[in-house]
């Protein structure tokens, strides 16, 4: 693994929404094992930046570059996993049915479904319909998706929403694991994140 080359780079990114400039000429680069933490008030463009990184939105200027190429091709998407404001899980399906669909849409990753459910403390919930889960449990389920699929870059939008203290500690330990094994994370969070031993870059959007 080439540690020296940046994996993901943003060059001169700008985002304008309804004639309001959210951010301008934003540059960053992310290397293997690093975390990029986006901070800023509500409405400062954190989610917009994440959606630009996912390719859902075109930046109003600038480019996002992955391994020296622009991100419009599938190798980038094969390495990316996104958990946004919306969980992306179907409430009429069971926990394991949801994970099976996620798995089918991607390549298998480090953990099996059972291991991932154990990691996020949802073991034994396989055949429970998602609508019977609490908000925090749904959140954990959507984070379990990160573990079962192959990915290097996690893009997380407020991953700690509706999690309890224990849940937050759990996800933080998973994030540390991911970074120590060469993964990268871009996240927004209002919580103070404790990720000892991980190289964190902060971008403050205002």
Select from 85, 190, 191, 194 the one that contacts other proteins (CB under 8 A).
Answer: 85
Q: Which of residues 3-62 bind other proteins (CB under 8 A)?
A: 51, 54-58
Q: Is 87 in the site for other proteins (CB under 8 A)?
A: yes
Q: Is 191 in the site for other proteins (CB under 8 A)?
A: no
Select from 63, 97, 126, 198 the one that contacts other proteins (CB under 8 A).
Answer: 97
Using CA atoms, how far apart are residues 161 and 7, in angstroms rounded to an integer? 28
Residue 1 CB, nearest approach to other proteins (Å): 20
Q: Is 86 in the site for other proteins (CB under 8 A)?
A: yes
Task: Using the minimum distance from each CB to other proteins, give the nearer residue, 153 or 179.
Answer: 153
Q: Which of residues 102-121 bind other proteins (CB under 8 A)?
A: 102-108
Residue 26 CB, nearest approach to other proteins (Å): 18
* CA proximity to 142, closest of 130, 150, 127: 130
Task: Using the minimum distance from each CB to other proteins, give the nearer residue, 129 or 170.
Answer: 129
**Count of residues of this chain found to bind other proteins when the rule CB under 8 A is applied:** 33
Residue 186 CB, nearest approach to other proteins (Å): 14
Q: Is 180 in the site for other proteins (CB under 8 A)?
A: no
Task: Using the minimum distance from each CB to other proteins, give the nearer residue, 6 or 59.
Answer: 59
Using CA atoms, how far apart are residues 106 and 134, in angstroms rounded to an integer? 26
* DSSP character string of the chain: --SSS-SEEEEEEEEEETTEEEEEEEEEEE-TTEEEEEEE-TTSSHHHHHHHHHTSS--SEEEEEETTEETTSHHHHHTEEEE-SS----TTSBHHHHHHHHHHTS-B-SS-HHHHHHHTT-TT-TTSBGGGS-HHHHHHHHHHHHHHB--SEEEEESTTTT--HHHHHHHHHHHHHHHHTT-EEEEE-SSPP--TTSEEEEEEE-
Task: Using the minimum distance from each CB to other proteins, give the nearer residue, 7 or 172.
Answer: 7
Using CA atoms, how far apart are residues 179 and 193, in angstroms rounded to an integer? 14
Q: Is 173 in the site for other proteins (CB under 8 A)?
A: no
Task: Using the minimum distance from each CB to other proteins, give the nearer residue, 88 or 195.
Answer: 88
Chain contacts with other proteins (rule: CB under 8 A): 51, 54-58, 74-75, 77-78, 80-82, 84-93, 97, 100-108
């Amino acid at each position: 693994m080439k540690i020296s080359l940046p994996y993901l780079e943003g060059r001169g990114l700008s985002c304008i929404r309804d004639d309001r400039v959210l951010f301008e000429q934003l540059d960053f680069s992310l290397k293997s094992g690093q975390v990029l933490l986006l901070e800023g008030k509500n409405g400062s463009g954190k989610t917009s930046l994440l959606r630009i990184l996912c390719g859902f939105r075109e930046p109003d200027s600038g480019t996002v570059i992955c391994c020296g190429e622009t991100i419009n091709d599938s190798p980038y998407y094969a390495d990316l996993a996104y958990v946004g404001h919306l969980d992306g899980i179907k409430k009429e399906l069971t926990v394991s049915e949801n994970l099976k669909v996620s798995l089918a849409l991607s390549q298998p990753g480090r953990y099996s479904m059972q291991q991932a459910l154990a990691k996020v403390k949802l073991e034994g919930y396989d055949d429970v319909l998602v609508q019977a889960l609490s908000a925090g449990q749904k959140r954990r389920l959507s984070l379990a998706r990160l573990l079962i699929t192959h990915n290097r870059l996690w893009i997380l939008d407020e991953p700690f929403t509706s999690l309890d203290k224990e849940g937050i500690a759990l996800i933080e330990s998973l994030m540390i694991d991911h970074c120590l094994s060469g993964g990268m994370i871009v996240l927004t969070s209002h919580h103070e994140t404790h990720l000892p031993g991980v190289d964190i870059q902060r971008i403050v959007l205002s």
